[in-house]
Structure 1
């Protein structure tokens, strides 16, 4: 066995408390290098006649990527503490792997083993349970619906009659959302994620002027309360977008800094590199990217920190929101997020805290900061295969398998899975108008562990390139909507709700991914679903479905045992085994 490839550490995604009694353990080995792995475990204080009392338990091969095999098991140590090691076998040798390295014989001293000192309940990662069963719908308020023309901003354009630009307005507002909640309910949505609603100069509102005021073009606080109430009556949760990394140019403390320079009482609210303040050619202060209109806030400053924590509290206490999505979350210090979580969770323990991080996020997902992050690694894997056609099905499956083993299961279950957003071109545009490919991406998105999100308008086939093209006005004329795509998504959401294995209750693993055909299983103790996806342009035949009797697929097709299943080009099937 290739010892250099064998890896475990007793923390994070390799050893963690799944709940108050259960530990999950993982081991990584070189792909196809190990035949079996057995966990050796016991309580460190359980000795009889000077012999440590241990148990053995087979580990499951839960996934493989291009380099590694991943082995997983679940145990309930009777006294919530454990010493453990791994017994590995291949065709020619066996060895024991512990914290002290590799042994040909099982060590007698428990100090040689890995240690999980104690399963403290307070250390268990706990995200709100409701998130696991939530299907989100992202709304860019300025472009969803104009329900109250009396509050339109100056220079508003007729709805949808002009292409979106970085500086134009169409008058979308809260009343427009209230007027169209039936559309979301019909689709099966039970969570809304709003991009920023606070007072700002731009149409996107990521340049906050006042964190405690709603932008007048959206309505007032009373209308917002009506919107929250209407959503909650329909069982729809509401999540707001917080931009704490940076403020807007017209944020009062920054305006004071511009006016008074080094004499400003707010000079330490920002990261100023030099005085006098310069905005061109490069700002003399830290910003989001190099945007002079978005000065970076100094969240280590006690006054800034207290102000932003009060903002976090205010919208939960006064309006009963259900979640915070945190913009550019990875550029803010960890201590701020720890204090933020403690502050808002004291008010509403079931509040969902979602960070915008595009890469490996384990440091933020240890139970003391975020409940989840936006799952862009999943997004890119699906888009790279189906839309960009830059990777094979094998590579896509490898990337998704590696991703699932990069985090604990209870983290994966609440990951925010998206395929499009206000920051990216629309799915149909990326797929070159191939609706069949878009459907396959949705199939994987909605059956992948996590909580899926639809970007407004994608469900009716809207198109658009990168910002601002992806921010067109929502199309409300039924004759211009793709109702077939809407019906497909409605069916997927219904299946997710009616079949426990389809959603977050089902474990996920790939059976195979080759020649353009993807097979994966979702399993619970009572149900096993086999997903078949043909991402190629040719008819594919799938053998050996392990069927003992004739069955009906989730889409109503009869599947006979001992016969090959034919998948049409870009076809799909879901079979209950």
Structure 2
């Protein structure tokens, strides 16, 4: 099975459906919270698929080429990781027709849409679990779950004790994926939504299904339905097992996010340690998987980027610069491009502020420029990664991205001081006297004796290409 080429060219935008845009107030649940009200763990704000459709031009203007939707199937929670019906769009998000309208609009504009697949566990309102609750040992679905003894205690206080559940939450019973009927059901769900037009799956906690045979068959089912479908696994550690043949095209690159923030935000590692770790992560996986990794700076499971950077926009820009110059598909968590802030759930899931007066327009313009540069420069998407320079004293480092005759260099200054860098570019194919453009500020510089002199502002960066 091959990794789809479109992934390394993609710029993803992650949308938490209830909080992005409300395009149809008629499907709002009772007691819906006002748009802009402080987020809570359980209350709904009315976002839906029609909202994504209505704001589609915003995504196009930004340069987005792929959407990742958090769960959209029927569930009782605002996050919808407790699925009750895998074949139904949650009515609070819209209809089957709304789903197809979004897919069609995306595809007409060359954009892909991947869905969030929660196949380790379901919600306790799922039909099979309900049947066990009602019929106990007479239920034909007892073997669909890991039941220790009956009757089930699914609604009392405390953790799940007589059945397995994700993190022992009673509301999230774990599937018995060793059972043939469960596998058949989940594989059919995976194939069904690909056949309905979805372009891939982001797999939630796939390591909880610690079964290579399951994922081998899952991949075969999805890729048979659409060889161009993308499979990305939510694996929080660096583990190449999960991209071995028969597994995922790429992983959510949280380890890279962590080492980046350790360097530019927390100041807990040296420049050389940062460069070493970046190179280790690059070499850990086969090249084709590195370029198919899903690289976010924030998500619904982390604090927001602006908050992680302590409100220092210089560090936010540095993070975005590195993200768009590194192999793997960049992923923007909705609102990070305009400077939204927030600690962990629920505060990282605020409604998108469509009143533009609250936006950080300069930051959005910067991100939009980086997206355009990534689309324009093939070396940023497909080029090899190599260290160019590292200096622990100045906390400056540089990487090159080289693809055939196309070269680029990205520099980061993680210190509080301005630094003049004499950058050796002799391995980049840039001739003496050649004019090189610094893409962020528009300055031109000339190669002399195989070097470029680059001035880096405190917590600043540069992107050079010839």
Give 2:198's aligned residue.
321
Give 2:443's aligned residue.
557
* 1:230-266 deviation per Cα after TM superposition (whole angstroms, max 9, x unaligned): 1111111000011000000111111122223233221
Give 2:428's aligned residue.
none
Give 1:466's aligned residue.
344
Following TM superposition, by how much is the alpha carbon of 1:565 offset from its aligned partner in structure 2, in angstroms?
A: 2.5
Q: 2:41 aligns with which of 150, 166, 180?
A: 166
Following TM superposition, by how much is the alpha carbon of 1:299 offset from its aligned partner in structure 2, in angstroms?
A: 1.0
SS of the aligned residue for 2:408 comes to strand
Normalized against structure 2, the TM-score is what? 0.94
Following TM superposition, by how much is the alpha carbon of 1:497 offset from its aligned partner in structure 2, in angstroms?
A: 1.2
Following TM superposition, by how much is the alpha carbon of 1:559 offset from its aligned partner in structure 2, in angstroms?
A: 1.6
- Whole-angstrom CA distance in 1 between matches of 2:11 and 2:300: 18
Does residue 1:518 correspond to 2:404, yes or no? no
SS of the aligned residue for 2:284 comes to coil
Give 2:410's aligned residue.
531
* 1:72-100 deviation per Cα after TM superposition (whole angstroms, max 9, x unaligned): xxxxxxxxxxxxxxxxxxxxxxxxxxxxx
SS of the aligned residue for 2:185 comes to helix
Give 1:150's aligned residue.
26
Between 532-541 and 200-209, the greater mean CA deviation after superposition: 532-541
- Whole-angstrom CA distance in 2 between matches of 1:512 and 1:289: 44
* 1:445-469 deviation per Cα after TM superposition (whole angstroms, max 9, x unaligned): 1111111100001011100000111
* 1:531-574 deviation per Cα after TM superposition (whole angstroms, max 9, x unaligned): 11111110111124446124332231022444743211122222
Q: 2:308 aligns with which of 416, 425, 430?
A: 430
Following TM superposition, by how much is the alpha carbon of 1:174 offset from its aligned partner in structure 2, in angstroms?
A: 0.8
Does residue 1:239 correspond to 2:128, yes or no? no
Given that 1:545 and 1:561 are in contact with CA atoms closer than 8 Å, whether structure 2 keeps it comes out as no
Given that 1:361 and 1:373 are in contact with CA atoms closer than 8 Å, whether structure 2 keeps it comes out as no
Q: 1:202 aligns with which of 77, 83, 89?
A: 77
Given that 1:256 and 1:266 are in contact with CA atoms closer than 8 Å, whether structure 2 keeps it comes out as yes
- Whole-angstrom CA distance in 1 between matches of 2:404 and 2:147: 57
Give 2:189's aligned residue.
311
Question: How many residues in Structure 1 have an aligned counterpart in Structure 2?
Answer: 450
Q: Which residues of 2 match residues 35-54 of structure 1 at below 5 A?
A: none
Between 343-352 and 280-289, the greater mean CA deviation after superposition: 280-289
SS of the aligned residue for 1:205 comes to coil
Q: 2:367 aligns with which of 482, 489, 507?
A: 489
* 1:6-29 deviation per Cα after TM superposition (whole angstroms, max 9, x unaligned): xxxxxxxxxxxxxxxxxxxxxxxx
* 1:44-94 deviation per Cα after TM superposition (whole angstroms, max 9, x unaligned): xxxxxxxxxxxxxxxxxxxxxxxxxxxxxxxxxxxxxxxxxxxxxxxxxxx
- Whole-angstrom CA distance in 1 between matches of 2:423 and 2:259: 28
- Whole-angstrom CA distance in 2 between matches of 1:366 and 1:552: 39
Does residue 1:409 correspond to 2:409, yes or no? no
Given that 1:136 and 1:190 are in contact with CA atoms closer than 8 Å, whether structure 2 keeps it comes out as yes
Given that 1:388 and 1:430 are in contact with CA atoms closer than 8 Å, whether structure 2 keeps it comes out as no
Q: State the structure with bigger RCO (CA 8 A, min sep 6), 1 or 2.
A: 2
SS of the aligned residue for 2:91 comes to coil
- Whole-angstrom CA distance in 2 between matches of 1:146 and 1:575: 41
Does residue 1:476 correspond to 2:351, yes or no? no
Does residue 1:250 correspond to 2:161, yes or no? no
Superposition misfits of 4+ residues, deviation over 4 angstroms: none
Give 1:444's aligned residue.
322
* 1:435-492 deviation per Cα after TM superposition (whole angstroms, max 9, x unaligned): 1101111111111111110000101110000011100000111111111111111111
Does residue 1:548 correspond to 2:432, yes or no? yes
Structure label with greater radius of gyration: 1
* 1:219-238 deviation per Cα after TM superposition (whole angstroms, max 9, x unaligned): 11011111111111111100
Normalized against structure 1, the TM-score is what? 0.76
Does residue 1:268 correspond to 2:268, yes or no? no
* 1:381-401 deviation per Cα after TM superposition (whole angstroms, max 9, x unaligned): 112222333222222212111
Q: Considering fraction of residues, name the structure with more strand.
A: 1
Following TM superposition, by how much is the alpha carbon of 1:338 offset from its aligned partner in structure 2, in angstroms?
A: 1.2
CA-atom RMSD, angstroms?
1.4
Q: Considering fraction of residues, name the structure with more helix.
A: 2
- Whole-angstrom CA distance in 2 between matches of 1:323 and 1:564: 44
- Whole-angstrom CA distance in 1 between matches of 2:380 and 2:6: 16
Give 1:217's aligned residue.
92
- In structure 1, runs of 5+ residues without a counterpart are 1-124
Q: 1:509 aligns with which of 386, 393, 402?
A: 386
**Residues 564 and 526 of structure 1, relative CA distance in 2, 3 Å threshold:** closer
Following TM superposition, by how much is the alpha carbon of 1:210 offset from its aligned partner in structure 2, in angstroms?
A: 0.3
Between 407-416 and 334-343, the greater mean CA deviation after superposition: 334-343
